[in-house]
Structure 1
């Protein structure tokens, strides 16, 4: 059965919108999983900071090993930084996809949705410009 050009165009449009929406939902689920992992790393890192033993047990994969507490702290800090970076990247990806989805749906952009916080250097420069610091 031959489809008219309008039906083909509508099918392509709906497929693109639904695909993008599904990608956004998948990214949100990934962000939630990473956020839960981040919380577990934070808990473990705090527990290690309160541990004054020279050695600690750590599970790597399916194996438990005993290594120095300082090395455990370093490993946990690196993992925490990595997960935080992954969450930030996913957040940016979701933001871009939502913006693209709103464009596809011919909806206006969300005001303030793409705002980013000022860095410490920018705040310092503004304070210096106004003579506040």
Structure 2
């Protein structure tokens, strides 16, 4: 690139995309930590025999019936899982875009998706593992 303005703009775009990737990765880590804490809380509630449980809702500490707390935690876990999956799929696209901008080939296997249960059953039939 002979034009310094174009070169500078190109580098800004690269840095911006790289920063977005790092921010998304940190957000995934934070959400994964929250998911694990929610899972631990659910497990502890299932082992508990208490009818009412203290529950932290933002800055508030409230006492709720245990079954309502379990429902809230399950809903939160579903929402966090959806957010993590969305971030991960967007992250794959951003990583490939960054590699394209850097004139590198895409990461092999980055866009692979797991096989569905039907596909696994079909493979079992083909391989004779009925």
For normalisation by structure 2, the TM-score amounts to 0.90
Aligned with 1:41 (options 38, 42, 47): 38
The answer to whether 1:105 aligns with 2:102 is: yes
The answer to whether 1:76 aligns with 2:73 is: yes
Alignment of 1:26-65 (within 5 A): 26-65=23-62
Aligned with 2:7 (options 2, 10, 13): 10
Equivalent-residue separation in structure 2 for 1:64 and 1:82 (angstroms): 22
Equivalent-residue separation in structure 2 for 1:124 and 1:90 (angstroms): 30
Distance apart, 1:130 and its partner CA:
4.1
Distance apart, 1:73 and its partner CA:
0.9
Unaligned runs of 5+ residues in structure 2 are none
Aligned-CA RMSD value: 1.7
The Cα offsets for residues 4-50 of structure 1, whole Å up to 9 and x where unpaired, read as 96212211211111110011011111111111111111111111111
Secondary structure at the aligned position of 2:129 is classed as: coil
The answer to whether 1:117 aligns with 2:114 is: yes
Distance apart, 1:119 and its partner CA:
1.7
Larger CA deviation: 40-49 vs 120-129: 120-129
Total equivalences in the alignment: 130
For normalisation by structure 1, the TM-score amounts to 0.88
Distance apart, 1:75 and its partner CA:
0.8
The answer to whether 1:96 aligns with 2:93 is: yes
